[in-house]
Amino acid sequence: MKTVKEILSWVIPIAIGLIIALLLRAFVVTVARVDGPSMEPNLVNNERMIVWRQAPIKHLSVIVFDAYGEDPSAKTKGTDYVKRVIGLPGDTVSSKNGDLYVNGKLVKQNFISKSERTSGTGNWDLKSLSSQWSEYNGVTKVPKGQYFVMGDHRSVSNDGRYWGFVSKKNIIGVVKVPFWETDKTQRNNVNNLAY
């Protein structure tokens, strides 16, 4: 009987710890990894980041979302993308010569270079982009419950310009880069720009 009590004395705390860890991962925080160059220079391929599930999504937040059902090229559930939120529900979004405008106001893009802003960005608004999307053809504003996202490295990013919006239900959370990853400027460009 003493042996069973001794075993339970260390099994129960381990089990409780595992349950707490699983609950935290499911509802509060998880870890993700960048796959590809679309968020360079601020996030690089294979970089690890923390994803806060309950953090508010704001303009310029960097988010992780399941692209399955959003991007037609994402063929399996759990294909996670990392992108920057440009437009919130109800926003108008447009681009002219690499400058982004949200609700008619110029968005400061100090987090990327001029060539990263202008290469591959083009001149467009949501209505002109939506003519190539299978859903939302002709929209002029980001629909309710949806977000418009782009990668920081615009010329290589497969993002909302090509397939449309990201549904809130597919968003896993907001990215925060831990202090041991990247340099201070890159961390600031991911962690502190949202407004």
Q: 120-136, pLDDT tens digit by residue? A: 778 999 999 998 887 88
| CA distances to 47, 67, 82, 91, 146 from 141, in Å | 33, 21, 22, 5, 10
pLDDT in tens, 9-22: 776 767 666 666 66
In the set 2, 5, 9, 38, the catalytic residue is 38
pLDDT at 117: 85
CATH 2.60.200.20 assigned to 32-191: no
Distance CA 124, CA 117 (A): 14
Percent of the chain with pLDDT over 90: 54
Instruction: Rounding to the nearest 10 degrees, give the CA dihedral for residues 34, 27, 172, 93.
Output: -120
User: Which sequence spans correspond to the domains of the chain?
Assistant: 32-191
Q: pLDDT category, 180, cuts 50, 70, 90? A: confident
In the set 5, 75, 77, 83, the catalytic residue is 83
- Higher-scoring residue by pLDDT: 173, 4: 173
Beta bridge partners of 178: none
Q: Where are the beta strands (DSSP E) in the chain?
A: 29-33, 48-52, 62-66, 80-87, 93-96, 99-102, 105-106, 124-125, 146-150, 166-167, 171-176
Mean pLDDT rounded to a whole number for the chain? 88
38 in catalytic set: yes
